[in-house]
Amino acid sequence: MSQELTPEQIQQSLQGISVPPQPQIMVDLQMEQYMPDPDLDVIAKLISQDPGLSGSLLKIVNSPYYGLTNKIASIERAVNLLGSRSIINLINAQSIKGEMNDETIVTLNRFWDTAQDVAMTCLTLAKRIGAQACDEAYALGLFHDCGVPLMLQRFPDYMTVLEQAYANAGPDCRVVDTENQVFNTNHAVVGYYTAKSWRLPDHVTAAIANHHNALAIFSDESSRNSTLKNLLAILKMAEHICASYRVLGNQTEDHEWDSIGHLVLDYVGLSDYDFETLKQTIRDLGTHR
């Protein structure tokens, strides 16, 4: 994913999968953000026009995960407090659910619940570890598996294959390897192009592309890719804490974490005991959502 693919390669990897267009509100918000002097009032007004997104944004900002002393009641205050970039990353991530919800696919109800849990956990870990912007960690948490519903819409047997992929996961077989064998593409590739077309930050899209390639990335002990490693460390810890392997993979054990967990914890400087304590703290936070 480090090299740009040709249009032909992109078309082949997507195999007729329909990447949803970015909602108009996000196009308008990003146009304002890219202005030489972004107007926070205009950004607040744009968000306020969508009651669903406004409510979701205030719920996130006022959650225990953000840890603000005083509750925020207005979009204007949220925008002024967090800034346009953070707000737009939070809104962009939240928008993806609305664009992909297919009420006929019951499977996706649990999927989005887990994605929200992972996103909130990423946000908390980013605050605790201080290695990455919270809004980017949240966007990654909610967006990283957005290729899953798109794959499911294209391939009816996709969830069965995904379960097998999680069962096969280990040092010699990535989750995406099993998908590639069956479909000649995988949810990380599809998620990458979706995030790229929605103009998420480049290092977030890179993390989406590589979120099942963590073993190779963390095995490289050089100082390269520190931003990617920071994001992936947060995401992989969050996925393990929220037990994505149970929801998406229908597994009783997190085979992927067994392979990469020690490398991730070494990278962020946490002992197994520290991580278990942090995991319990985050799960306790989740009971108060």
Domain with 136 in it: what CATH number? Answer: 1.10.3210.10
Predicted confidence pLDDT, tens digits, the chain (289 residues)? 444 556 666 667 777 787 888 888 888 988 888 888 888 899 999 999 888 888 888 888 888 777 778 888 899 988 888 888 888 888 887 788 777 766 555 667 788 888 889 998 998 899 888 766 888 998 999 899 999 999 988 898 999 999 999 999 999 999 999 999 999 999 999 999 999 988 888 999 999 999 999 999 999 887 778 899 999 999 999 999 999 999 889 999 999 999 999 999 999 999 999 999 999 988 887 644 4
Same domain, 79 and 130: no
Distance, CA of 130 to CA of 147 (rounded, Å): 28
Distance, CA of 271 to CA of 240 (rounded, Å): 15
pTM flag (> 0.95): no
Give pLDDT, residue 45: 92
Same domain, 191 and 227: yes
Give 195's Cβ-side CA count (13 Å radius). Answer: 30
Residue 3 in domain? no
Domain that holds residue 82: 20-100
At how many degrees (to 10) do helices 147-154 and 107-129 cross? 160
Number of C-beta neighbours around residue 30 at 10 A: 15
Residue 13 in domain? no
Same domain, 153 and 188: yes
CA nearest 131: which of 272, 281, 274, 268? 268
**Domain boundary residue, one of 45, 67, 100:** 100
Same domain, 79 and 170: no
Give pLDDT, residue 18: 79
Same domain, 244 and 260: yes
Residue 11 in domain? no
Same domain, 92 and 179: no
Distance, CA of 225 to CA of 73 (rounded, Å): 38
Residue 5 in domain? no
Residue 2 in domain? no
Query: How many domains are contained in the chain?
Result: 2
Give pLDDT, residue 107: 66
Same domain, 140 and 267: yes
**Domain boundary residue, one of 58, 74, 100:** 100
Distance, CA of 82 to CA of 219 (rounded, Å): 35
Residue 256 in domain? yes
Two tokens at 6? 């040709």
Distance, CA of 267 to CA of 262 (rounded, Å): 9
Same domain, 131 and 205: yes
Give 144's contacts (C-beta < 8 A, 6+ positions apart). Answer: 118, 191, 207, 208, 211, 235
Give pLDDT, residue 80: 86
Give 228's contacts (C-beta < 8 A, 6+ positions apart). Answer: 203, 206, 207, 210, 217
Same domain, 85 and 225: no
CA nearest 254: which of 245, 242, 262, 265? 245
- Any bridge partners for residue 173, and if so which? 170
Same domain, 32 and 126: no
Residue 67 in domain? yes
Give pLDDT, residue 246: 92
Residue 14 in domain? no
**Domain boundary residue, one of 68, 100, 132:** 100
Same domain, 132 and 239: yes
Same domain, 45 and 78: yes
